[in-house]
Chains A and B, each alone.
Chain A
Amino acid sequence: MSFSVTEPSNGTKWFAGILVIGYALITIAPLLWIIATGFKSGPDSIAYPPKVVFEPTLEGYVNLFTDRTRATQDMLDAAGEPQTWYDQIARDQGTVITGPSRYGERFMNSVIIGFGSTALCMLLGTAAAYAFSRFRVPLKDDLLFFILSTRMMPPIAVAIPIFLMFRQLGLSDTHLGMILLYTAVNLSLSVWLLKGFIDEIPVEYEEAALIDGYTRFQAFYKVVLPQAATGIASTAIFCLIFAWNEYAFAVLLTSGTAQTAPPFIPTIIGTSGKDWPAVAAGATIFLVPVMVFTILLRKHLLRGITFGAVRK
């Protein structure tokens, strides 16, 4: 083994490792706590001292997806034997299920609006990024800066006229309205990131294709797009995560049909007071996909969060 003055000693590595792992454990504790709370019973979730060991139950999840009412003994008798396992869980809490809750709908809204806006954003963003990367666009730098500056405005500040505009156009509380809005918000990110990724593809590939008789369009989608596939995929995930997480516009511009999960989760309440296991279950289902995506993205994470300003 060659000696290197820049290689930290084993002692330093151990010391650094212990501190970082310590921080990591502290930082994921709240997340693990929420995931655990989703599997607790109501009394366990608010026990003192906080319960680390508990008997897991699906109460939180059943409560999340159903509307229930407190049942008297007469009602329980009238309802007969519980038909399903989730019916049983509701009965055990002294309640009967009256129907599905709105969480499923809200979650689907998040999926529709998230994927819809991401698809549209990638379509527009890839085209614009390609043009900015390869062609002489008049006022290119100004346009690029303008695109970035749209991200600086506080969402609430823009929300006032958008609220008025959407009302006029009949887009308030619609999926289409939210998809267009999130697309516009995410375009700055997708154009900047994708331009960086396309800049890295050598121009020679396209030139070769053009000489072989491809048109510009063909060169674009047969040569550039496949080359940029990883970049496009990670940009798409970033757009998706943003749309998925967004709250300010969602809470101001949607109330029913197009409301996404983030404004809905905090409003979940039980039959008696705040139902923390149900809230935790709702948060878990909503947050875990993002954690999975984070793992997939880890190589391009830095680039994404800095709009391509920092590359590894």
Chain B
Amino acid sequence: MTDTPIHKVAQATPESMARRIRGLSDRTIAWIFVAPTIFLLLAVNIFPLIWTIRLSFTDYRVNRPNREVEWVGLQNYERILSDPDIWATMQATAHFLIWTIVLQVLIGFALAFLINKKFRGNDLWTTIIVFPMMLSPAVVGNFWTFLYQPQIGLFNYVVAFVTGADPASFSMIGDVHLAPWAIIIADTWMWTPFVMLICLAGLRSIPDSIYEAAECDRASKWRQFWTITVPMVLPFLMLAVLFRGIENFKMFDLVVQLTGGGPGNTTTLTSIDLKREAFEKWRTGYSSAYAVILFVTVFGLASIYVKALNKVKER
């Protein structure tokens, strides 16, 4: 930065004149420009986070403001980690997370691969496919309940039409075995385009010359796919998985509108459980500890994953 032309000019002119020319010093401007952002983020993100950590060691309850607040040490954490219900919730979250990622990666990659064949009008169809992911997840969840209605729902009707079953014989959101799949299907419908777009960018980043060279070496299409296409797209794919993983770990709006966590607790993902503890049972201290555990988990997993991603990129 110091050897740019403007600095040379500034050094050649007297200090007072230089200041008039440049107005405020760059350092001052940098601070004026960055400070409001940092301040707002501290106020709305970091301060609440610290407050959450503090509350997590207490038995505070928002709905009983006059009660004496007691320090309970690590008791909240112990109770959460030894609670089988919470482990069941974690399991439901893991099931949702794994299946949505598997389906979205497979379908998303396949679509990107096909779109990259550059057939006529592929831009238009890509835009159409992208629509679902831009919509409000809560509103989407709400209207999927309509599609999933037994008998009258479009989803049930189509499934019944294809399989020959009675459309009134199954309820995607009322059945304990089907409900976890109901949320996976809706999420996959919504977010496959996200993975697709990132894969497409990956595919388009591969220079034609590599394939031309492989063709000269008489490598089969199949071999080209596994030795060129897949490794070159992998960093992109892993990035897509990172984004989807973090987003679906936090998943709340779509699922809460779709199933509300039911039937039973079969689709109670961690965020939904946390919301119940914090805003229905009003166990503020307990749910703060819960929130801290979730945050540490997502942050920890994401950091490990980013390290792996960087290794793949370096290769």
For the complex, count residues of A whose C-beta is within 8 A of B. 106
How many angstroms from the CA of A156 to the CA of B249 in the assembled complex?
Answer: 12
Is A191 an interface position by the 8 A CB rule? Answer: yes
| CB contact list, A184-225 vs B, under 8 A | 184-185, 187-188, 191, 203, 207, 210-211, 213, 215-218
A132 to B100, CA, bound (A): 36
| Residue A108, interface by CB 8 Å | no
**Contact of B29 with A20 in the complex, beta carbons under 8 Å:** no
A99 contacts chain B at the CB level, 8 A cutoff = no
Q: A127-B37, A184-B45, A312-B201 are in contact. Are A48 and B4 (CB under 8 A)?
A: no
Q: CA A152 – CA B248 in complex, angstroms?
A: 11
**Closest-CB distance, B259 to chain A (whole angstroms):** 13
Give bound CA distance, A125 to B192, whole Å.
Answer: 29
Which stretch from B47-55, B72-80, B83-91, B175-183 is at the chain A interface?
B47-55
**B residues neighboring A (CB under 8 Å):** 1, 4-6, 9, 21-24, 26-27, 29-30, 32-34, 36-38, 40-41, 43-49, 51-52, 55, 62, 107, 111, 114-115, 117-123, 125-139, 141-144, 146-147, 149, 151-154, 157, 167, 189, 192-194, 197-198, 200-201, 204, 208, 211-212, 215, 236, 239, 243, 246, 249-250, 252-253, 257, 270-271, 274-275, 278-279, 284, 287-288, 291-292, 294-295, 298-299, 302
Kindly state whether residue A116 has any CB partner on chain B within 8 Å.
no
A2 to B75, CA, bound (A): 73
Complex contact B30–A47 (CB within 8 A): no
Taking CB atoms and an 8 Å cut-off, the chain A residues in 48-99 that contact chain B are 48-50
Query: A19 near B36 (CB under 8 angstroms)?
Result: no
* B43→A184 contact, CB < 8 A: yes
Q: Which residue of B lies closest to A280 (CB)?
A: B143
* A156 to B291 Cα, complex, angstroms: 8
Report the Cα distance A293→B275, complex, angstroms: 32
Report the bound CA distance from A162 to B46 in whole Å. Answer: 11
A-B complex: 5 closest residue pairs judged by Cβ atoms: A215-B23, A157-B291, A184-B44, A161-B48, A17-B119
CA distance A301 to B252 in the complex (A): 24
Tell whether, in the assembled complex, residue B121 and residue A17 are in contact, meaning their CB atoms are under 8 Å apart. yes
In the bound assembly, the distance between CA atoms of A295 and B134 in angstroms comes to: 11
Name the contact of B287 in the complex, choosing from A146, A160, A184, A291 (C-beta under 8 A). Answer: A160
Q: Once the chains bind, are B284 and A137 in contact (CB under 8 Å)? A: no
Assembled-state Cα–Cα distance A216/B208 (Å): 44
Complex alpha-carbon distance, A294 and B47, angstroms: 35
Point out the residue from A211, A266, A302 that lies within 8 Å of B138, measured CB to CB.
A266
From B1, B36, B249, B302, A124 is in contact (CB under 8 Å) with: B36
Chain B facing A: main interface SS = helix
Closest to A244 in B: B136
- Contacts A128-B34, A135-B30, A295-B127 given: A162-B44 contact, CB under 8 Å? yes
Contacts of A153 in B (CB 8 A): 45, 49, 250, 295, 298
Within 8 Å CB of B55, what residues of A? 160-161
Please determine whether A211 and B5 come into contact, CB atoms closer than 8 angstroms: yes
A135 to B33 CA separation, bound complex (whole angstroms): 10
B1 to chain A, nearest CB (A): 6
Name A17's contact: one of B122, B201, B287, B291 (CB within 8 Å): B122
Q: How far is the CB of B269 from chain A (nearest CB, A)?
A: 10
A150 touches B41 (CB 8 A): yes
**Which chain A residues lie closer than 8 Å to B253 at the CB level?**
247-248, 262
CA distance A188 to B133 in the complex (A): 20
Residues in chain B near residue A184, CB distance under 8 A? 40-41, 43-45
18 pairs, A vs B, C-beta closer than 8 Å: A17-B114, A27-B129, A27-B132, A37-B146, A150-B46, A154-B249, A154-B250, A160-B55, A164-B62, A207-B4, A216-B24, A217-B24, A245-B138, A247-B138, A263-B138, A290-B135, A293-B134, A312-B201
Q: How far is the CA of A245 from the CA of B252 in the complex (A)?
A: 13
Q: Considering the complex, which residues of chain A in the window 276-312 have a beta carbon less than 8 Å from any beta carbon of chain B?
A: 276, 279-280, 283, 286-287, 290-291, 293-295, 298, 301-302, 305-306, 309-312
Q: Contact: B142 with A135, CB < 8 Å?
A: no
Asked if residues B111 and A23 are in contact (CB atoms below 8 Å), the reply is yes
**The one of B136, B151, B192 that contacts A247, using a Cβ cutoff of 8 Å:** B136
Contact A49 B157 (CB under 8 A): yes
Residues of A contacting B154 with CB < 8 Å?
29-30, 33, 50
Known: A20-B114, A136-B1, A187-B41. A27 touches B128 (CB 8 A): yes
Whole-angstrom distance between the alpha carbons of A48 and B167 in the complex?
10
Which residues of the other chain, A, contact B1 by a CB distance below 8 angstroms? 136
Q: Is A46 an interface residue (CB 8 A)?
A: yes
- Whether A12 contacts B139 by the Cβ 8 Å rule is no
Tell whether, in the assembled complex, residue B201 and residue A165 are in contact, meaning their CB atoms are under 8 Å apart.
no
**Residues B44 and A181 in contact, CB atoms below 8 Å apart:** yes
